[in-house]
């Protein structure tokens, strides 16, 4: 019926296009009842998807984190403490061994006026375990959601207990980071015996493996039904609730029952749809967004946006762009060759072209971004790492030592063939594409004939990379604030290190990995280490115990150079003082790592003139 | 009448066979694309900051909608579903029927492209007649030259130019979206909603008009010039028939070749204009198709291709049948 109404309206629009358009400027409330007005932004992780359900479990759902989609807490992305978070529906919490006790916001209510109850939280945790998270035995060394029970221990206090045998130091992060949805809306989709099924799936006894797998299958089936569910209307415990989703924008209005409404200035939030970075730039050039997330952006466009009056606030982005190798292919199987390439490439020059606005040239290959490395290792240890500063003489020495030969200004492999590199990148990744030109120029000038090549899209790139069709290409590394997450990108399951209980085995898998075939063990400071085993062990260690392990992994990565990091991305946020003021500032990493809804809950974003 | 029914039946059967061939071809073609929906989603989640395990878990839910059956079995299910009127379930929308997803996008393709098609056709045909009749004058030459130049400019260049002038520099027209973002009235027959839809459609429609105007104008000009040389025009002049009547003769004869193109354009409009929709952030079928390819949403891709194919085949059949009505010579 709605679709028919759309069509009727569309037909009417066609008929009246000429006459009405001329006298139809944008209308709508620009100032709300509280003087806050309309807050307009885009959600970088979740562009509006016309027709998708208002369901946080749908991959393209029209729910927006921190506005109408709430969690118990919002991760601060603190590299030293993964459990560090801003309060959400939980006002505070305590971690006691393998349990977490959360103290709920006493006044938390859904937008239909019903209170947020322990039953809502318990059901939401069960749903989270249906979203592909369930696994037989819950897995030691696993950093997944290993909750075994959710129990009320007070009127507003809830205890979450880890599954038996689990040793996940990031347990609190997992609990706090789950979407909380109302039982009144989702309850009919969740079987009454779901916690029995969850318990069955978590059996570690080998004799129960078949029953455990059956339970996992049952949970996944429930999960599929929940992901496909389309609620008729939005019911939110956040500061806003969806009023309507147009094809071009989602309109959210204040949830009058929100527990901390006094801090929320805007009367409406408009989240605009976009299909490319250029549109976000266009909106900003016209002053149409109050806040905008990071997008790869050329310098000239940045200048236009700043000239319009936008301010930038730079925070840390836990990801870097690297050049990676298939280490089964000569000559990239030799660490001296990878080290030589690191010496040849001038990362400052490459960053200036590839990511001039949102990138900082990487200092030393470490597996983590510069800031995390400094925090974990300290200045002294970081100073001992090899920065691989631009040094062609050193590169020449290393290459000759690895058996390569230089003739007539060109480099030749040990088998006598000329060394040629095809540097693979992906259509649409404008920073990688631009930087590839500089990389190719630098290597070619050194005598290694290099040309960039383009994959049609990321899906094709992944498939061809896993099939080992590329020798050298771009890759995102050091992804996330958590060190384990960073090193998993280099020494994880996709790289052949498969966790099985307490043990990690190394396989030479093909067709389903990423840039692979690094050695199983390295010798660092005269000691043999298994990087996969060390990476997996981080899951159960506290901060102090992690430090020596991370130091070993950083040193190993610095020595072996499985990838050459080019730049650390910067989390650049843009804000505009047209309707609102009091924005987060440069360097406030924790708050900048979150969506503006969290900024509001933390007291930022106030109506101008208030 | 019996003959007409037989002709229609034959055309429809032929069209159905054509649709089946194209559906089969596109089914295997889209499944041959490198990349899997789950893998694409996994990397997206990792880039968003999820750890490997969380990303794999979330992606597995999407992958849960991707059939694990052998490809030929999937094909037989697909054809069987089509025969029962089902286009399948979207992978990237996790459980939403493909027909619903396409149905939501369809009006936003029909509005700008149908409007643009009709407007450009009317303007192009009218100015084509003028350019042909006045072909020796400056006006005629100017019209022809302008049409040739406009026809040569890529659509995205025109779109960006219009955005720069009317949105960025003048701030006179909106860019992106389909209705005013702060409009909180229900979609339907009310002035506020309809005028907002029309207002937001101006730039996409103007782009479509500009990119297709040149083609209509030059075709019509060429067709009119050809008709002007026909004997019956000379005869009508000699018989003293008034210029307005003569123009009617010219117009009716010259427009015939353009009619087939117009009818086929009605079919292709369902595919949207991908570049225009992407540039203007207009959520029509073109943009839906583009996104579905990026996410390897096989059912959505095949559904969108099927819609386009069926529309073109039907438009072709209708054009064939109507042509014999508007041009009596074909019936002989």
Arithmetic mean of pLDDT, A427-434: 89
Higher-pLDDT residue of A543, A566: A566
| Residue-level pLDDT at A433 | 94
| Residue-level pLDDT at A345 | 97
DSSP string, B27-69: HHHHHTSSS-HHHHHHHHHHHTT--HHHHHHHHHHHHTTS--S
Cβ contact A286–B176 (<8 Å): no
Per-residue pLDDT of B179-230, as tens digits, reads: 776 665 566 667 888 888 888 889 999 998 998 899 999 999 999 998 888 8
Encoding tokens for residue A575?
């804000």
- Shortest CA gap B331–chain A (Å): 35
β-pairing, A472-477 vs A420-426, is parallel
DSSP B89: B
Chain B residues with CB under 8 Å of A464 CB are: 34
- Select from A5, A7, A14 the residue whose CB has the most chain B CBs within 10 Å, as the one to mutate to test that interface: A14
Q: Which residue has the tokens 């000038």?
A: A445
- Shortest CA gap A39–chain B (Å): 10
Q: What average pLDDT does chain A have?
A: 87
Cβ-based neighbours of A284, under 8 Å, separated by 6 or more: A292, A305, A308, A310, A574, A576
Cα-based torsion angle of the residue sequence B92, B97, B101, B107 in order, rounded to the nearest 10 degrees: 170
pLDDT confidence tier of residue A26, bands split at 50, 70 and 90: very low
Cα gap B26→B33, rounded to integer Å? 11
| Residue-level pLDDT at A238 | 97
- Shortest CA gap B207–chain A (Å): 15
DSSP string, A85-147: EEESSEEEEEEETTEEEEEE-TT-B-TTSPBP-HHHHHHHHHHHTTTTT--TT--TT--S--E
Name the 3-class secondary structure at A498: strand
ipTM of model over 0.90: no
| Residue-level pLDDT at A19 | 42
Per-residue pLDDT of A30-74, as tens digits, reads: 444 445 789 999 988 777 777 788 999 887 788 999 999 999 999
Chain B residues with CB under 8 Å of A489 CB are: 46, 52
Asked whether the predicted pLDDT for residue B244 surpasses 80, the reply is yes
Per-residue pLDDT of B43-97, as tens digits, reads: 777 766 666 666 776 776 666 666 777 888 889 888 988 888 888 888 877 778 8
Asked whether the predicted pLDDT for residue A240 surpasses 60, the reply is yes
Arithmetic mean of pLDDT, B286-305: 87
Per-residue pLDDT of A495-540, as tens digits, reads: 888 876 668 888 877 767 788 778 889 998 899 999 999 998 888 7
Cβ contact A485–B93 (<8 Å): no
Q: Tell me if A21 sits within 8 A of B202, measured CB to CB.
A: yes
Q: What average pLDDT does chain B have?
A: 83
Cα gap B311→B301, rounded to integer Å? 16
Asked whether the predicted pLDDT for residue A10 surpasses 50, the reply is no
Asked whether the predicted pLDDT for residue A20 surpasses 60, the reply is no
Chain A residues with CB under 8 Å of B32 CB are: none
Kindly state the helix (H) or strand (E) to which residue B167 belongs, with its residue range. none
Closest CA to A53 of A41, A42, A68: A68
| Residue-level pLDDT at A7 | 42
| Residue-level pLDDT at A4 | 39
| Residue-level pLDDT at B258 | 86
Chain B's closest residue to A220, CA to CA, is B61
- In this complex, is the C-beta atom of B170 within 8 Å of any C-beta atom belonging to chain A? no
Task: Report phi then psi at B183, rounded to 5.
Answer: -80, 120
Chain A's closest residue to B52, CA to CA, is A485
Closest CA to A328 of A529, A68, A517, A167: A517
| Residue-level pLDDT at B63 | 62
Q: What percent of chain A has pLDDT over 70?
A: 91
pTM over 0.90: no
pLDDT confidence tier of residue A131, bands split at 50, 70 and 90: confident
Arithmetic mean of pLDDT, B144-163: 87
Per-residue pLDDT of A81-130, as tens digits, reads: 989 999 999 999 999 888 999 999 999 999 999 999 999 999 999 998 88
Per-residue pLDDT of A533-552, as tens digits, reads: 999 888 878 889 999 999 99
| Residue-level pLDDT at A2 | 40
- In this complex, is the C-beta atom of B194 within 8 Å of any C-beta atom belonging to chain A? yes
Cβ contact B198–A25 (<8 Å): no
| Residue-level pLDDT at A9 | 46
Cβ contact B51–A482 (<8 Å): yes
């Amino acid at each position: 019926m709605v679709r028919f109404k759309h069509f009727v309206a569309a037909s009417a629009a066609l008929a009246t296009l000429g006459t009405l358009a001329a006298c139809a400027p944008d209308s709508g409330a620009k100032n709300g009842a509280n003087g806050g007005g309309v807050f307009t932004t885009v959600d970088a992780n979740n562009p509006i998807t016309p027709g998708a359900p208002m369901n946080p479990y749908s991959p393209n759902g029209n729910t927006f984190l921190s506005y109408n989609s709430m969690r118990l807490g919002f991760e601060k992305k603190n590299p030293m403490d993964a459990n560090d978070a801003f309060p959400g529906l939980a006002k505070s919490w305590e971690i006691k061994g393998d349990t977490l006790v959360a103290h709920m916001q006493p006044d938390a209510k859904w937008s239909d006026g019903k209170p947020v109850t322990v039953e809502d939280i318990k059901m939401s945790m069960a749903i989270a375990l249906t979203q592909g998270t369930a696994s037989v035995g819950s897995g030691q060394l696993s950093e997944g959601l290993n909750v075994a029970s959710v129990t009320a221990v007070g009127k507003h206090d809830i205890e979450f207990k880890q599954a038996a045998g689990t040793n996940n130091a990031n347990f609190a992060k997992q609990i706090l980071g789950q979407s909380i949805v109302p039982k009144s809306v989702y309850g009919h989709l969740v079987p009454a015996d779901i916690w029995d099924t969850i318990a069955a799936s978590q059996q570690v006894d080998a004799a129960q493996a078949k029953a455990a797998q059956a339970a996992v299958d049952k949970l996944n089936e429930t999960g599929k039904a929940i992901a496909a569910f389309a609620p008729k209307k939005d019911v939110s415990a956040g500061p806003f609730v969806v009023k309507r989703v147009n094809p071009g924008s989602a309109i959210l209005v204040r949830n009058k029952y929100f527990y901390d409404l006094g801090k929320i200035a805007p009367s409406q939030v408009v989240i605009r749809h976009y299909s490319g970075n250029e549109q976000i730039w266009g909106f900003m050039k016209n002053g149409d967004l109050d806040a905008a997330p990071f997008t790869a952006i050329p310098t000239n466009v940045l200048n236009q946006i700043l000239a319009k009056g936008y301010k930038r606030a730079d925070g840390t982005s836990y990801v870097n762009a690297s050049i990676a190798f298939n280490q089964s292919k000569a000559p990239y199987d030799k660490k001296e060759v990878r080290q030589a390439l690191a010496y040849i490439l001038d990362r400052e020059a490459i960053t200036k072209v590839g990511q001039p606005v949102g990138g900082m040239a990487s200092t030393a290959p470490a597996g983590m971004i510069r800031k995390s490395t400094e925090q974990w290792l300290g200045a002294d240890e970081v100073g001992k790492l090899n920065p691989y500063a631009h040094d062609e003489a050193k590169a020449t020495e290393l290459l000759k030592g690895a058996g390569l030969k230089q003739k007539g200004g060109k480099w030749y492999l040990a088998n006598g063939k000329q060394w040629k590199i095809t540097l693979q990148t992906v259509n649409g990744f404008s920073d990688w594409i631009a930087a590839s030109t500089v990389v190719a120029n630098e290597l070619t000038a050194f005598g290694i004939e290099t040309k960039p090549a383009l994959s049609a899209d990321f899906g094709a790139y992944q498939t061809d990379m896993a099939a080992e069709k590329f020798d050298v290409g771009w890759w995102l590394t050091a992804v996330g604030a958590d060190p384990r997450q960073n090193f998993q990108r280099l020494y994880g399951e996709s790289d052949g290190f498969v966790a099985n209980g307490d043990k990690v085995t190394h396989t030479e898998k093909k067709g389903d990995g990423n840039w692979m075939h690094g050695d199983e063990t390295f010798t660092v400071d005269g000691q043999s280490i298994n990087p996969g085993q060390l990476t997996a062990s981080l899951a159960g260690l506290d901060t102090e115990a992690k430090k020596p392990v991370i130091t070993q992994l950083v040193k190993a990565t610095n020595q072996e150079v499985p990838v050459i990091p080019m730049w650390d991305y910067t989390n650049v946020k843009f804000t505009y003082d047209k309707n609102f003021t009091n924005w987060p500032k440069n360097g406030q990493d924790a708050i900048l790592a979150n969506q503006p809804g969290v900024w509001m809950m933390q007291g930022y974003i106030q109506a101008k003139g208030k | 009448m019996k003959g007409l029914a037989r002709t229609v039946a034959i055309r429809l059967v032929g069209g159905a066979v054509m649709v089946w061939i194209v559906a089969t071809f596109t089914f295997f073609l889209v499944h041959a694309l490198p990349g899997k929906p789950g893998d694409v989603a996994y990397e997206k989640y990792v880039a968003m900051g999820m750890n490997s395990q969380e990303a794999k878990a979330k992606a597995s839910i999407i992958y849960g909608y991707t059939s694990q059956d052998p490809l030929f079995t999937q094909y037989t299910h697909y054809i069987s579903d089509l025969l029962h009127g089902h286009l399948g379930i979207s992978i990237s929308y996790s459980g939403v029927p493909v027909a619903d997803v396409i149905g939501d996008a369809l009006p936003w393709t029909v509005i700008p492209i149908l409007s643009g098609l009709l407007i450009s056709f009317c303007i192009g045909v009218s100015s084509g007649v003028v350019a042909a009749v006045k072909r020796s004058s400056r006006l005629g030459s100017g019209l022809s030259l302008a049409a040739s130049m406009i026809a040569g400019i890529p659509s995205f260049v025109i779109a960006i130019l219009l955005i720069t002038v009317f949105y960025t520099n003048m701030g006179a027209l909106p860019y992106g979206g389909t209705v005013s973002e702060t409009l909180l009235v229900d979609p339907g027959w009310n002035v506020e909603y309809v005028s907002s839809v029309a207002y937001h459609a101006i730039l996409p429609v103007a782009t479509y008009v500009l990119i297709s105007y040149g083609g209509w104008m030059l075709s019509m000009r060429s067709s009119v010039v050809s008709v002007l040389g026909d004997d019956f025009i000379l005869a009508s002049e000699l018989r003293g028939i008034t210029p307005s009547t003569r123009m009617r003769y010219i117009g009716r004869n010259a427009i015939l070749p353009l009619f087939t193109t117009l009818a086929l354009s009605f079919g292709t409009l369902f595919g949207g204009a991908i570049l225009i929709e992407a540039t203007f952030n207009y959520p029509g079928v073109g943009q839906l198709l583009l996104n579905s390819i990026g996410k390897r949403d096989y059912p959505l891709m095949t559904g969108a291709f099927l819609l386009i194919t069926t529309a073109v085949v039907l438009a072709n059949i209708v054009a064939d049948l109507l042509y014999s009505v508007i041009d009596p010579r074909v019936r002989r």
